[in-house]
A and B are shown apart, each in its own frame.
Chain A
C-alpha cells in the first residue's frame, strides 16, 4: 500500500505533499547534469522492473520499493526517478492517483534521499564488505520503514478515522523492511565488487 489512490487524503495533506515533492524535484533539476538523463531514465526503468519481482518473506511475498538503493545511486535524482515511475505506473497499470502524485513521490523518495546523505559516504568508501553490507541493509530497511511511517502519517493527518488503517499499513511494512534489507545489502555488495562507480550519484 505505498501508492495512495485518489479520494482518500484531505486537501492540506495533498497540498503539503505536493509542495515538498515539488521542492525535491526542483532541487534535483538544479543539480542535474544533462548527461545524467539517460542514466536516470534507464536506472529508473530497472527500479521499476525490480519492484515487479515478488520476493517471498515468511508466509507472504512482497514487492520491493528500492528507495534506499535509489538514494545511494541517484542522490536527489531519486525524486525525479520516483515521480517518473509513479506517472508511468498510473498510466500503464492504474496504480496510485493523480492528485496524490506529490504525496506519493514525497513518501517514497524522501526517506531514501535523507538516509543516503547520512550513510552513503561510508557505504562508498569503506574497505570492509561486512560494514558495507550491514549499512546498506540498514538504509534499505529504514527507507522502507520511513516510507511506511509517512504513508501512515498521510492517512492519519487526513482524518482521525484512518488511524486504525494506518496501523495496519505500518504492520504490512515490517516483512517488506526485512526482505528489502537483505536484498539491498546483496545489491550493494554486488555493485561494490563489480562496478563501484555505480554507487556514486554524480558523473564519474
Chain B
C-alpha cells in the first residue's frame, strides 16, 4: 500500500489514517497497526533521520510506562512493598505507545520529507486561507537565516567570555540576544516588504492551478481511507 503522489490527497489521507489510528482502544489492533506501519515504512525506504524522530516521543512513552502500571488498579505483576504494578496498566501503556509510534511512522512515511512551501501550496488548494500559506512559505524562508544570525550572536557572546549558567546574568543576556534578533528582524521585515512592493507585489502571490490528481492516486487514497475505517471497525467489533 503506497501513499498518493499528489500532495493534497496525501495530506488528507495522512490525516484520516492518523485520526483513525489515534482512536483505537483495543491492544491487539494497536499492535497490529504498529507492525503494519513499521513494515510499510521499511518498504517505503524511510530514511534514517526520519526513523530517529520516533525518539521525540520517547520521553512521553517513558512516563506512560512508569505511571500507568503503578496507578491503574488490576491484576498485579509484581509488587515492591506497598507499590504494585498491574497488568491492565502495562497493557494500557503498550496500547498508547503503539498508537503514538504508529502515528509518527505514518506521518514520516507520508509527509516526512515535504518542503514547507509545497505543503503550504497543497494546504492552500485544500481551503487553507491564502495568508496562512504565504506565512508558511515566508517563515520557512527566513527561519534558516535567523537561526544563522542567532548562532552568530551566540558565538560572539561566547567569544567575549559568556558562559551560560543558571543565574540572572545569563537570563538577561539571552533576553538581550532575542531582543536584538527581534529588532533586526523587524528591520528586515520592512526591507522585505519594500523589496516585494518594488517587484510589483499586489497582495497575492501568483499561483498556478495544480493538475487534478490522477486516477491511480485516487485509488491509493481510497485504499488508505478504507484501511483507516477498517482499523476502527476491527477495533469496535
Number of A-B contacts (CB under 8 A): 227
Q: Flag if B102 contacts A187 (CB, 8 Å).
A: no
Indicate whether A27 reaches chain B with its CB closer than 8 angstroms: no
A34 / chain B contacts, CB cutoff of 8 Å = 131, 203
Measured in the bound complex, the distance between the Cα atoms of B174 and A6 in whole Å is 32
Contact-residue bracket for chain A:
35 or more
**Closest residue to B53 on the A side, CB-wise?**
A94
| Contact assessment for B107 and A94 in the assembled complex, using a CB-CB cutoff below 8 Å | yes
**Neighbouring A residues of B63 by C-beta, 8 Å:** 165, 168
A190 to B59, CA, bound (A): 35
Task: Judge whether B60 is part of the interface by a CB distance below 8 angstroms.
Answer: yes
Out of A32, A50, A95, A184, which one reaches B150, CB within 8 Å? A50
- Overall SS of chain A's interface: helix
**Which one of B68, B96, B114, B178 contacts A50 once the chains associate, using CB atoms below 8 Å?**
B178
Sample 5 A-B pairs with CB under 8 A, ordered by A number: A5-B57, A5-B103, A39-B186, A53-B174, A186-B175
A residues lining the B interface (CB < 8 Å): 1, 5-11, 14, 25, 29, 32, 34-35, 37-46, 48-50, 52-59, 66, 73, 80-81, 83-85, 87-88, 90-95, 97-99, 161, 164-165, 168, 179, 182-187, 189-191, 194-195, 198
Residues of B whose CB lies within 8 Å of any CB of A are 14-15, 18-19, 21-23, 50, 53, 56-57, 59-60, 63-64, 67-68, 71-72, 92, 96, 99-104, 107-108, 111-112, 114, 116, 119, 129, 131-132, 134-136, 138-143, 145-147, 149-150, 154, 164-166, 168, 170-183, 185-186, 188-190, 192-193, 196, 203
